[in-house]
């Protein structure tokens, strides 16, 4: 196997400690040596003036969603989303993100296409569909009586709409059968759904407990779209692993998360992206724009208090709501909630890997870990410029992108 020496740069190991000058050797798809003044391999990558980061991880994307307008859902042919997904995955990989968790939309075929090398992209965990009650955040029913979900059900993406423990159990098993690595559930309303409110509580504790049980029996876990306070608490009490968004956290919710070791994936950029799209002229529903404006300030305050309390944070963007390839816009927003640059990068590497169950494989630059690298010019702590400074992306020991373009 070829040995590659990355020489002359600094290394951010993923732990949150500041970058230090070091060389790194990759053999095959693994990191085999880290230290100062390494020599030997014939292939040398000059990293002078650059910082080596672990491959970045986004814990909340929707690769089959490319915009949130009703127009696109009505006018695009059904299969168009899969070709867009290939483009979205490529754009995500090119900015240094080598692993993603798709939070509903991507089916097993998309994941397998990446794994088999048919299309370039980050490795994937998939939720397939989102479990939601009738009239809940995942129900695409419109006041006109038409149903326009973000993800139309198909044989590889079963409907997630269910009510009551028995229906919830059946739907969970169907989603797991379809290849889900994680079950996603909506325990509150949302910004984009037209008939509910982010503060509304959805599904009962008994329904949520069924999901956690079914996931655990298959060695899986549950992630919750949870924005309102009571829905967050219900999710945490039920044993759900991560709270996505977490807009309306109160002190009790934060204490429960700390006591249960629950993760927070803030997706701070999501409501910002809705407003940006509307300002750019996209036909975003007025209700979504209004709710986005209402939640931004309280969202930041909630995340700031969670960070201060020591809640475990992992990076996620809700990309699809915003453009794929702009994922790193989330990082300065996290810093604005009181996280140091080192903490932000750790949340985007080692912490994200731990949340996804990959903590012993990805997210760190250490011997034995998978050789996923994002090499950035200059100071990696300049989070506002990180995306523009990504010079090279390596996945499994192979160069996959240079200067924002796939190779």
Has 293 been annotated as catalytic? no
What was the pLDDT predicted at 288? Answer: 85
Judge whether residue 376 has pLDDT over 90: yes
Q: Which of 10, 111, 184, 233 is catalytic?
A: 184
Q: How many residues does the chain have?
A: 407
Q: How far apart are CA 249 and CA 97, in angstroms?
A: 28
The end-to-end CA distance of the chain, in Å, is 21
Count of C-beta atoms within a 10 Å radius of residue 303:
26
Has 184 been annotated as catalytic? yes
Q: What percent of the chain has pLDDT over 90?
A: 87
Flag whether the pTM goes above 0.95. yes
Judge whether residue 367 has pLDDT over 90: yes
Beginning with the edge strand found earlier in the chain, give each strand of the sheet holding 242-245 in spatial order. Answer: 130-131, 183-186, 222-226, 242-245, 263-265, 312-313
Q: What is the CATH number of domain 3-54+363-406?
A: 2.30.40.10
Check if the beta carbon of residue 242 is closer than 8 Å to that of residue 194: no
Q: Which of 23, 58, 139, 318 is catalytic?
A: 318
**What's the pLDDT tens digit per position in 293-351?**
999 999 999 999 999 999 999 999 999 999 999 999 999 999 999 999 999 999 999 99
What was the pLDDT predicted at 162? Answer: 98
- Integer-rounded Cα Rg, in Å, for the chain is 21
Residue 189, token pair as written in the block? 């309303």
Q: How far apart are CA 57 and CA 40, in angstroms?
A: 31
Residue 17, token pair as written in the block? 């400690």
Range list for CATH 2.30.40.10 in the chain = 3-54+363-406
**What's the pLDDT tens digit per position in 140-198?**
888 888 888 888 999 999 999 999 999 999 999 999 999 999 999 999 999 888 778 99
**Fold of the domain spanning 56-355:** TIM Barrel (3.20.20)
Sign of the dihedral defined by the CA atoms of residues 174, 180, 181, 187, in that order = negative
Range list for CATH 3.20.20.140 in the chain = 56-355
**330-295-185 Cα angle (round to 5):** 75
């Amino acid at each position: 196997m070829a040995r590659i020496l990355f020489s002359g740069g600094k290394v951010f190991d993923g732990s949150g400690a500041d970058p230090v000058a070091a060389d790194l050797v990759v053999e095959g798809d693994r990191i085999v040596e880290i230290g100062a003044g390494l020599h030997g391999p014939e292939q040398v990558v000059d990293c002078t003036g650059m910082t080596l980061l672990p491959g970045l991880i986004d814990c909340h994307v929707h690769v089959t969603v490319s915009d949130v307008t009703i127009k696109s859902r009505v006018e695009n042919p059904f299969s168009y989303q899969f070709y867009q997904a290939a483009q979205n995955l490529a754009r995500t990989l090119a900015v240094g993100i080598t692993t993603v968790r798709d939070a509903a939309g991507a089916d097993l075929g998309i994941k397998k296409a990446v794994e088999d090398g048919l299309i370039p992209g980050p490795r994937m965990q998939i939720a397939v569909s989102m479990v939601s009650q009738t009239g809940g955040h995942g129900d695409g029913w419109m006041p006109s009586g038409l149903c326009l979900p973000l993800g139309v059900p198909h044989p590889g993406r079963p409907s997630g709409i269910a009510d009551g423990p028995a229906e919830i159990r059946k739907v969970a098993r169907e989603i797991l059968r379809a290849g889900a690595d994680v079950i996603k559930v909506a325990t509150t309303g949302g910004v984009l759904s037209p008939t509910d409110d982010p503060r509304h509580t959805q599904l009962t504790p008994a329904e949520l407990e069924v999901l956690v049980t079914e996931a655990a029996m298959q060695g899986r876990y549950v992630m919750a779209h949870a924005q309102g306070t009571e829905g967050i608490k219900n999710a945490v009490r039920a044993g759900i692993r991560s709270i996505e968004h977490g807009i309306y956290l109160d002190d009790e919710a934060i204490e429960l998360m700390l006591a249960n070791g629950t993760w927070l994936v803030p997706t701070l950029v999501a409501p910002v992206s809705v407003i940006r799209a509307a300002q750019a002229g996209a036909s975003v529903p007025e209700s979504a724009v209004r709710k986005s404006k209402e939640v931004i300030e309280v969202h930041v305050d909630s995340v700031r208090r969670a960070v201060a309390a020591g809640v475990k944070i992992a990076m996620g963007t809700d990309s699809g709501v915003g453009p794929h390839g702009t994922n790193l816009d989330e990082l300065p927003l996290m810093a604005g909630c009181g996280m140091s640059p080192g903490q932000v990068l750790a949340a985007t590497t080692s912490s994200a890997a731990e949340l996804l169950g990959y903590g012993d494989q990805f997210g760190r630059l250490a011997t034995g870990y998978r050789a996923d690298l994002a090499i950035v010019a200059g100071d990696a702590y300049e989070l506002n410029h990180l995306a523009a400074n990504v010079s090279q992306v390596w996945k499994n020991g192979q160069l996959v992108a240079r200067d924002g373009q796939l190779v």
